[in-house]
Amino acid sequence: MLDAKAKAMINGKNFAFIATLARDGSPQLTPVWVDTDGKHVIVNTAMGRAKQRNTARDNRVAVVISDSKNPYSYTYVKGRVTEQKKEGASEHIDKLAKKYLDKESYPWKDPKETRVMLVITPEKVISQ
């Protein structure tokens, strides 16, 4: 369901914002780096962070990817975190560090943290 425009937005050096649901059902919102495998929106976080815990409890999310060159251009994705994937997540954050920071590896790795990918299956995609 990700169309060409949405994929281009995600593959560009654009920042995203992900809304999840806190335990009390209130919205929680954080800026994130973003990636796609062509089908899913992928966000990399660490086990124990609010968005990881929130989506383990209730997997419904909304994501806006904002065009860094034009604040009036964005892609909106509503969907569900259908998988939390630890395997490959450490390599994946390095891939994002290359994209966003032009560094070979993620500079803020914390050995106490376990990285995890939130794999989002889109249910609605709107680009504007």
Kindly tell me which residue out of 76, 84, 121, 127 binds a second copy, with binding defined by CB under 8 A: 76
Minimum CB distance to a second copy smaller for 60 or for 88: 60
Restricted to residues 95-124, the positions that interact with a second copy (CB under 8 A) are: none
Q: In 2-105, which ranges are E strands?
A: 15-21, 27-32, 35-36, 41-46, 60-66, 74-85
Report residue 125 as tokens.
């995609």
Is 25 among the residues that bind a second copy (CB under 8 A)? yes
Q: How far apart, in Å, are the Cα atoms of 54 and each of 8, 83, 107, 124?
A: 28, 13, 26, 20
Residues that bind a second copy (CB under 8 A): 15, 17, 19-21, 25-31, 60-64, 66, 68, 71, 74, 76, 78
